Amino acid sequence: MRRIRLNRWMPIALFAIATALTASGADGPGAVLKGWGRVFDPDKDCKVDADGDRLTIGVPGSPHDLSAELERMNAPRVVRDVSGDFIAQVKVEGNVRPDGESQIEGRTAFNGAGILLWKDARNYVRLERAAIENGGQRRHYVNFELRKDGQMIAIPALDLVRDIPDAPTYLRLERRGGKLIPSTGGDGLQWQAWPSIADEFPAGLKLGVAAINSASAPFTAEFREFQVYERAVEGSPRPEAAPQPATTPAPKDGAEARHVLEGAWRIVGGKAEDGDYRKVPYAQVKIVTQDRCAWASYEPGTGAVIRAAGGSCRLGDGTYVERLEYANADDLAGLIGKDQKFTWKVEGDRWYLSGNLSNGQRIEELWERAK
């Protein structure tokens, strides 16, 4: 899978090829779905169907759970490798409404679909759009669960504020600064952050989606727009990618080209495998003047700065070159004082930028002029 870097955050799980299957393997792995990961279906009775950017997991009306404390770990999931800090997000569509009686003694009827971060069968995190049915009353909420050494660890603060509408929901899990930070939203742009937990996991983990059902009626979990943005670490292996020139030539150096680029720009997205540009789970602005540039990425809901950098810039023969002089992140330190060379073009209010950083990261971005 070709990896794409977006200003030091890299979307590496994007869009799946069309396929349908019933997963195989007892506790072992099944098929690999491009853009999603490897299918695990311990009971071999669930149907996984991938079509474009949509993934469905059909679960029968029998207990399929990920509850280590109950020794019940048979829920279907699709996961892939991840290492270090990341932002993962997915849209959970369809009906999350448990019907019938609970099939797990001592538990209410439950449906859940969402993000799974997995070390092993005794240590993992679940972030789900979820619903329970109890005495004719149904509740829709954010389910954020931590298992440590086979035991469920309480997250008391989440119990006070976790109700959400019965509607398609974006889920996001961020690993940053020694914390795991869950968020939800209705449009994938504005996010409600929920209480975080300490990140005590090793660097290398599995990450993906899972579907849980304890009700007597079948449940179909519907996922779309699964994306993972992994923070690059200086010195880590990076994909090879030769520079690719813009499809139409940019202006040569000089007053005309400088005038075209000067101003404020907002990130639209990064280029996916199908050639389209996909939105990113953060906001980012870049300011370009005649010979200076600066950019910052931040949380759309709170305005909290995630990363920032800046320095000098210049235009060459169809190229745009940045040289960073300062940055607020350790993994950007290796770029300071080195030329970062890009090809570019501007079409109307859109700026297409592509090239390799000096550390080998591939950048293919689309910006739009801020107004």
Q: Which fold has domain 9-231?
A: Jelly Rolls (2.60.120)
Q: How far, in Å, are 110, 209, 366 from residue 8 at the CA level?
A: 38, 24, 15
Query: Residue 64, Cβ neighbours under 10 Å: how many?
Result: 26
Q: How far, in Å, are 39, 152, 155, 290 from residue 126 at the CA level?
A: 17, 11, 12, 48
Q: Residue 205: is it exposed, middle or buried by C-beta count within 10 angstroms (0-12/13-18/19+)?
A: buried
Largest CA distance in the chain: 74
* Beta bridge partner(s), residue 128: 114, 143
* Res 282: pLDDT: 84
Query: Residue 244, Cβ neighbours under 10 Å: how many?
Result: 13
Q: Residue for token digits 């540009």?
A: 277
SS3 259: helix
List alpha helices for the chain, DSSP H.
255-261
Q: Residue 341: is it exposed, middle or buried by C-beta count within 10 angstroms (0-12/13-18/19+)?
A: middle
The answer to whether the beta carbons of residues 69 and 36 sit under 8 Å apart is no
Calpha distance 300→281 (Å, rounded): 9
Q: Any residues with CB less than 8 A from the CB of 187 and at least 6 apart, and which?
A: 170
DSSP per residue, 83-96: ESSEEEEEEEES--
The reported pTM is 0.64
Q: How far, in Å, are 107, 132, 195, 228, 329 from residue 302 at the CA level?
A: 37, 31, 14, 21, 20
Calpha distance 362→209 (Å, rounded): 27
The answer to whether the beta carbons of residues 231 and 105 sit under 8 Å apart is no
For the chain, give every domain's residue range. Answer: 9-231, 255-369
DSSP per residue, 36-60: TEEEE-TTS--EEEEETTEEEEEE-
- pLDDT tens, position by position, for the chain (371 residues)? 333 334 444 444 333 323 344 443 334 567 889 889 999 999 999 999 998 789 999 999 999 999 999 999 999 999 999 998 888 999 999 999 999 999 998 899 999 999 999 999 999 999 999 999 887 889 999 999 999 999 999 876 555 558 899 999 999 999 988 999 998 988 877 778 888 899 999 999 999 999 999 999 999 999 998 988 876 444 444 333 333 333 334 444 455 556 688 899 999 988 876 677 877 888 899 999 988 999 999 988 788 888 899 999 998 767 899 999 999 887 788 899 999 999 999 888 999 999 999 988 888 999 999 98
Q: Which fold has domain 255-369?
A: Lipocalin (2.40.128)
* Res 308: pLDDT: 93
Calpha distance 264→222 (Å, rounded): 38
Calpha distance 103→302 (Å, rounded): 41
Calpha distance 72→2 (Å, rounded): 36
Calpha distance 270→280 (Å, rounded): 7
Calpha distance 317→321 (Å, rounded): 10
The answer to whether the beta carbons of residues 174 and 151 sit under 8 Å apart is no
Structure tokens at 224: 């779309």
Structure tokens at 362: 């591939």
Taking 3-state DSSP, the helix, strand and coil percentages for the chain, each rounded to the nearest 5, stand at 5, 55, 40
The gap from C-alpha 51 to its chain's centroid, in whole angstroms, comes to: 19
Q: Do domains 9-231 and 255-369 have the same CATH topology?
A: no
Per-residue burial over 289-303, b if 16 or more Cβ lie within 10 Å, else e, is eeeebbbbbbbeeee
Angle at 212 between CA 114 and CA 96, to 5 degrees: 70
